[in-house]
Structure formats: structure tokens, C-alpha cells
């Protein structure tokens, strides 16, 4: 949304978490007994993840935002329900803006198998408990000039166990029959070299970008996204698997330079144990 021409003045985030989402510190207020028939905010003076959220927003949008982030504890075991309030600036055409928002979310998450955008249907915690999914919905409050975005995850799976499983899955698959040769290499891109990635976008690369290539051309932007030409499809018969570990700062720099964030880049930016490669 921040990358689009939708003008946002400020962002407020209200996140409600099950008791397990507060961490493992032995504090009375983090115990389920204290939450029974109760509800309250914690770390209201400044949450430890606020800086990370602002960093992600700036990395994806190129804009520097200061956010208000206040988490609350619910009297439930698990799950996180987040409400994001984006104050809009300018004249809002409801139908046009809603279509634009739907298109933005669908395009951004189309290559994220564990994220589902549900349009104007607001998700519920019970929809994700026991899964590795993130569900996202929205509504547009024209009267208050506010875009409201809602997301739900199971913090014990998506936020912990699921993250570990996803971080271990650092293999990339290619349709072997679509490769020019039977082997792939890692090299720097040629200045001005281009590749059509699996999100159907043409990416123009420079000679500082690391790519996976066959003997003819680049088939993936290393640690970020694969190429359309060698994507796995229902017609694929032979698969070539690549397992590698990439230097986090380099992946972050390339991702920001070409304006492409992905689940792969998110993993490698946070430094993955090299022993996880096969």
C-alpha cells in the first residue's frame, strides 16, 4: 500500500495476542490466571518489535514512518489478531480505492503460499489456529478517511514452529527440462541483464546482483525469486533442486535495489545457519 499512490498520513497498529504471545518471562501479568476474564495492554511504552516493523516498512516502501504499536493480551491460549489503521490523505473514491487495494494485496502476496488475502472478509483467530497460515482482510472507512487492515496468525505455529520449518526450507526447484544445460552456476549478473521472475515482472539487473544461471542465461535472482521460464508447473516431469545459503546483507541490498521482497529474501536477510544446506 505504501508503494502505491495511496497517500497515508500515519499508521496505528493494535495487536491482540493470546497469552503465549507475550513471551516466556515469568511475570504475573503474563500468566493465564491473570488474564482469566481480563484484558489489558502490555509494553505500551514501547514494544521491542517496533523498530523491526519500522525497518520492514522502510525497506519495502522506501518511506520512513514512525508507527504506534500497542499489543494487548487476550484470555486465550494462542493466536494474534492485528488491526492496522492507516489514516489516508486526500479525496477517497470508495469503489476505485477498494479495487486498487485488492489488486495491491493480491499482487504482493501471490507468490506467498502461506498468506491468503480474503478481500473485505475480516479474518478470525479460529480460522488459523493449528495452521501455518496468515489471513488478511480489510475495510475502507470513508467517513473517517481510514484504511483498516486485519491479519490473524497462530503465534505458536506461524510465529515459532512454522517459521523454523520455513527457514529450514531453503531449497529452490527448477524445471530441469527448461534449463539450457544440466547444471546451474552462481555468478554476478551482467550489467543490464534482465530476467522475468515468477511474479511475471521483468527485472533489470546490474553487475552487483547475484544470480543462479544455466549456461545460457540467469534463471533466478539468488536468494530472492526464481525465473518464470524454469518455474515448476503441472507439466513438469524432471526437477533440479538447488540448496544454498546467501549472505544476508547482500540479499537485503539487492532486494531493496530492485524493489522485490519475497519469503526467500526475508529468510536469508535474517541469517540462516549454513549447516541447514544439504
Q: Are strands 185-188 and 210-213 parallel, antiparallel or unpaired?
A: antiparallel
Q: What pLDDT does residue 146 have?
A: 93
Cβ pair 140, 95 in contact under 8 A: no
Mean pLDDT per 10-residue section of the chain, whose length is 278 residues? 74 84 64 76 79 80 78 86 89 84 89 88 91 92 93 79 54 90 92 93 93 95 94 91 88 90 82 66
264 CB-near residues (< 8 Å, 6+ apart): 170, 172, 223, 224, 225
Q: What pLDDT does residue 118 have?
A: 95
The per-residue DSSP string of 32-72 comes to HHHHTT--EE-STT--TTHHHHHHHHHHHHS-----EEEEE
| Helix (H) and strand (E) counts in the chain | 6, 15
| 96-107 exposure pattern, b = at least 16 Cβ within 10 A, e = fewer | ebbeebeebbee
Class of domain 169-276: alpha beta
Domain with CATH 3.30.360.10 in the chain: 8-161
Q: Which CATH architecture has domain 8-161?
A: 2-Layer Sandwich (3.30)
pTM of the model: 0.61
Domain with CATH 3.50.40.10 in the chain: 169-276
Q: Enter the C-alpha cell of residue 166.
A: 520455513
Q: Are strands 210-213 and 202-204 parallel, antiparallel or unpaired?
A: unpaired
Q: Enter the C-alpha cell of residue 30.
A: 503474563
Q: What pLDDT does residue 160 have?
A: 58
Q: What pLDDT does residue 121 have?
A: 94
Q: What pLDDT does residue 169 have?
A: 56
Q: In whole angstroms, what is the distance from residue 10 CA to residue 143 CA?
A: 17
Residue 191: closest CA among 178, 209, 173, 174: 209
Amino acid at each position: 500500500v505504501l508503494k502505491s499512490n495511496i497517500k497515508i498520513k500515519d499508521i496505528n497498529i493494535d495487536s491482540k495476542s493470546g497469552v503465549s504471545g507475550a513471551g516466556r518471562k515469568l511475570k504475573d501479568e503474563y500468566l493465564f490466571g491473570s488474564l482469566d476474564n481480563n484484558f489489558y495492554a502490555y509494553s505500551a511504552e514501547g514494544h521491542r518489535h517496533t523498530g523491526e516493523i519500522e525497518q520492514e516498512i522502510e525497506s519495502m516502501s522506501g518511506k520512513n514512518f514512525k508507527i504506534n504499536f500497542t499489543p494487548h493480551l487476550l484470555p486465550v491460549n494462542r493466536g494474534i489478531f492485528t488491526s492496522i489503521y492507516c489514516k489516508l490523505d486526500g479525496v477517497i473514491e470508495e469503489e476505485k480505492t477498494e479495487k486498487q487495494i485488492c489488486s495491491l494485496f493480491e499482487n504482493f502476496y501471490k507468490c506467498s503460499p502461506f498468506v491468503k488475502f480474503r478481500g473485505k472478509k475480516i479474518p478470525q483467530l479460529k480460522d488459523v489456529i493449528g495452521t501455518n497460515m496468515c489471513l488478511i482482510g480489510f475495510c475502507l472507512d470513508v467517513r473517517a478517511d481510514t484504511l483498516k487492515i486485519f491479519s490473524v496468525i497462530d503465534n505458536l505455529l506461524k510465529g515459532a514452529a512454522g517459521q523454523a520449518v520455513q527457514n529450514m526450507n531453503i531449497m529452490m526447484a527448477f524445471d530441469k527440462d527448461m534449463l539450457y544445460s544440466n547444471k546451474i552456476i552462481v555468478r554476478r549478473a551482467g550489467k543490464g541483464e534482465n530476467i522475468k521472475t515468477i511474479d511475471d515482472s521483468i527485472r533489470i539487473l546490474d553487475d552487483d546482483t547475484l544470480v543462479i544461471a544455466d549456461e545460457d542465461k540467469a534463471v533466478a535472482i539468488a536468494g530472492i525469486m526464481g525465473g518464470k521460464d524454469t518455474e515448476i508447473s503441472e507439466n513438469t516431469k524432471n526437477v533440479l533442486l538447488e540448496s544454498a545459503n546467501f549472505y544476508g546483507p547482500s540479499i537485503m541490498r539487492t532486494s531493496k535495489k530492485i524493489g522485490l521482497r519475497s519469503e526467500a529474501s526475508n529468510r536469508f536477510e535474517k541469517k540462516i545457519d549454513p549447516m541447514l544446506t544439504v
